[in-house]
Amino acid sequence: MALALAGCATPSSRDLVVLLPDKDGKVGTLIVQNQKGSTVLNTAYATARTARDGGVERGMASQSEIKEVFGSAIAAQPPRPILFTLYFESGSDEFTEQSKQEVKRLLAEMARRQASDITVIGHTDLVGPDPSNDALSLQRAGRVKSMLVGMGVPAERILTAGRGRREPLIPTANGVIEPRNRRVEVSVR
């Protein structure tokens, strides 16, 4: 995550960009450049600031500096999306025993996030014809949506889709039974 603070139009103001780690401590790479220079940020808390001569200065910021400058912006961010994968019995929209526990986690997360947007994508394995798998993947997604609506989530906040057999989690040959492909992926934002 990169945070940028644009400077005001005063001579003492300087733009500031800070590269923050994700929740697991990982960072990507960010190139900051203008007409007079550039720098690469690829470590946590690395900074790029507009130099007095108009170029780009590289530096480091402490966590306390980040909090002081960007604290209110960071606090205003919505919670990160969370992904749930629910698995189904062959040829049906019945949850596997293991997924019944995951459903409980999903419902608890929904109760915690009052204004969530939800995407529900149904999938099947590579057994059976495309039209049947398309219908079954939509049926599975619809089952999860109905469950969420039943617990009070407004239907308009839930986007559903069925992908049939087009996006297997585990690639297999046609006709091969693979339980991990019979799933619904639920993204809660």
| Annotated domain spans of the chain | 2-75, 82-188
Q: Any idea which of 4-13, 62-71, 72-81 has the lowest mean pLDDT?
A: 4-13
CA 179, 183, 188, 189: dihedral to nearest 10 degrees? 100
Mean pLDDT of 76-85: 86
Neighbours of 99 (CB within 10 A): 20
* Separation CA 184–CA 87 (nearest Å): 7
Helix (H, G, I), strand (E, B) or coil at 47: strand
Looking at residue 29, its pLDDT comes to: 92
Looking at 3.40.50.1820, 3.30.1330.60, 3.40.50.10860, 3.40.190.10, the CATH number of the domain 82-188 comes to 3.30.1330.60
pTM: 0.66
16 pLDDT tier (thresholds 50, 70, 90): confident
Say which residue the tokens 């698995």 belong to. 87
Q: Above pLDDT 90, what percent of the chain? A: 53
What is the amino acid identity at position 72? S
